A and B are shown apart, each in its own frame.
Chain A
């Protein structure tokens, strides 16, 4: 082989190696960025498909002249973080529930719902009672009656968590502390034949587009939208049916492609339900409160895509409630910092002093070798093993119980090897000449260590401590059986508590909320980023100082 072709071959090899290395570099970066960005994205944006008994179309907004308007409009106090609208079913439940309802179920904030209604002597009061109670029940004992719209606005605006209703004509005069809530109240009852299971096929949820397609004649058979082979028979209120006559327009958004033939028009709710009950394949739109036998009547469920902001500052500053379903994570963040603080308080002196002993004082013989092997092994042991140890030793044998002190001590045990190992390496990397110089100047060994060796090794030691902090923040397995799951603020050494990672675990494993799991995950990522950033900048500054 000529020397030339050998060079060529070498070049080729070089090129291939470079290519492979670059490929893996890019792959790693892409994977890392993808994971972090995905968790952050899900942390900030919640995307959910939710199923409702009512369509997306909202009502009771007097400001939109195109939509049929109910005689009343629902209003809430602005402190209630309701993003868009409520359904009639939610209203009904709130106003009839035995216990005082809480906004937590709808908005996630831990705030009692303060219910107001207009006395039913007035026209609007009667209309409100009909719409909200659907003639099924009475107002619960938690509802306060107001005499007129003015008093209602006053009451709702001054009560946190307040909800009430006013005559729609008064919507223009609302103060800033009160806002109007649109209500979704159009349900789609169907003939029982539509929900039958034939050959393992049953209609699932549909959406507004499907409903529009049905009433504009674009879809003629249930098969086309996921149901069984059965012709669709749309039923609608005619223009003579008063306010219900406008439902068709509302759903179709004033499109003039309404099916002329094919739709069966009815004039009254009685006629409507008779038609639905007797006509196979029938579907119609009516108000939710018109449906008297709500539990037994076949009705279609509607799929709604809800995209919302997930993580906001409320989540950071509010205390959790109901296992984290409501409220925020303020106490849990503080607990996390307490855990970090106390583990460092225990582990740093022991770890650093231990490392100093092993490097500076101990005779480098068998004992030190065994010690070193021991710490190395401990550093590699899965954290759940430390959890087991902590549970048996601290919780059970020492009788410390599940709580803050047991967890702190167990985590201390777990991160000690990390701190010892990194501190040892940092101390070892201080050149021997530093020590010799110091000793030659007449300093004692202790002075040499305190004034020369440890300062020179500080960046390395700090790195070890920060690594330990990172491990503490991210640790779950150790804490499940030593720290407990109480989500209140930690109150003493023996009180059970919850930290961010455990909270995430609980939210996820108890299926409390995926959105909240991701929000908590995002916070965890932020904390780790913060810790890492402050370390690099701190070490950078220390190195600079040493360099000077």
Chain B
């Protein structure tokens, strides 16, 4: 027994030494002219493509900076920046009051519309009203026939509650119709997952960010006859849209030099071109 406990102590000690080495490395100070070091960002799966693309562009600008981004969902990302796991977060929704109280602030980096999508080959309708959409998600309408589609039960896909897309959809569609999500919908883990499942499940309905409406097998519905596109978000006629944000503790100027430079890059012409390139909407 003595030997085993000795071993365990040795083992833990070894891991601490390793850990200390790691921290030193990541703590390497960033000089103003040339940044370097390891940085961990995390948050929304919706914003994931933008951040990943920007990180890859940054590799050419600052080869010594190593940024990782974890697509864990907006809420988990915000928790992560509060806990210090991430030095910069990304959220596809605005911070809530409780989060603001802990110092979380957001900077807009793009706009995004949320589109209702259906399985292309089985659902023939191409338009839906806000009220009907809310009723489908509340479980009041269960057959496509009731909204002018084929006589088949509606397969409803929803997102997890950590998702910013979920909350935006809830705020813009469900709350407006004074309805609540039904509990029995299948939960998907991300925009990509949602698009893949709706695209492969007959009679399915779901909702995704604008960047995912061109995935295989899905069709975006018009809401009240208004198409989810850039033009209609700018003129505010398409109702379900939101800002995509990066989130940080305190004002951006306190988030760290590299973090600030990264956000500046996202807001620059180049960064906004990335946003547009990935089918999101650049800031007006």
Contacts and interface: CB of A to CB of B under 8 A. Distances in A.
Interface stretch (A80-88, A272-280, A381-389, A504-512): A504-512
A405 B70 contact: no
B142 interface: no
Contact of B4 (A201, A204, A354, A511): A354
Interface string B15-50: 100110111011000000000001010000100110
B268 interface: no
Interface string A340-365: 00000010011001100100011000
Interface stretch (A179-187, A236-244, A484-492): A484-492
Interface string A489-517: 00111111000000000000111100000
Interface stretch (B158-166, B174-182, B252-260, B271-279): B271-279
B192 A509 contact: yes
Given A401-B85, A402-B85, A405-B18, A495 B45 contact: no
A488 to B, nearest CB: 7
Contacts of B70: 402, 484-486, 496
Give the interface size bracket for B toward A.
35 or more
Contact of B7 (A97, A204, A353): A353
Contact of A495 (B49, B66, B126, B270): B66
Nearest to A404: B22
B190 interface: yes
A400 B25 CA distance: 13
B1 A512 contact: no
Interface in B120-142: 120-121, 124-126
Contacts of A537: none
Nearest to A195: B126
Contact of B69 (A367, A486, A511): A486
Contacts of A402: 40, 70, 85
A511 B121 CA distance: 19
B206 to A, nearest CB: 12
Nearest to A481: B72
A492 B277 contact: no
Nearest to B83: A396
Interface in B42-100: 45, 48-49, 52-53, 56, 66, 68-71, 83, 85
Interface in B171-217: 189-190, 192-193, 195-196, 215
A10 interface: no
A99 B273 contact: yes
B192 A97 contact: no
Contacts of A396: 83
Nearest to B1: A367
Contact of A510 (B11, B40, B192): B192
A357 B149 CA distance: 70
A491 B21 CA distance: 12
Contact of A496 (B19, B40, B150): B40
B192 A494 contact: no
Given A322-B56, A401-B40, A492 B19 contact: no
Given A323-B52, A488-B68, A496-B40, A511 B196 contact: yes
A5 interface: no
B236 interface: no
A36 B236 CA distance: 52
A263 to B, nearest CB: 30
A197 interface: yes
Contact of A197 (B38, B85, B126, B192): B126
A218 interface: no
A491 B66 contact: yes
Interface of B: 1, 3-4, 7, 11, 15, 18-19, 21-23, 25-26, 38, 40, 45, 48-49, 52-53, 56, 66, 68-71, 83, 85, 120-121, 124-126, 148-150, 189-190, 192-193, 195-196, 215, 270, 273-274, 276-277
Interface of A: 97-99, 197, 200-202, 204, 321-323, 346, 349-350, 353-354, 357, 361-362, 367, 395-396, 398, 400-403, 405, 409, 484-486, 488, 491-496, 509-512
Q: Which 6 A-B pairs have the closest CB atoms?
A: A486-B68, A494-B22, A511-B192, A511-B196, A493-B22, A510-B192
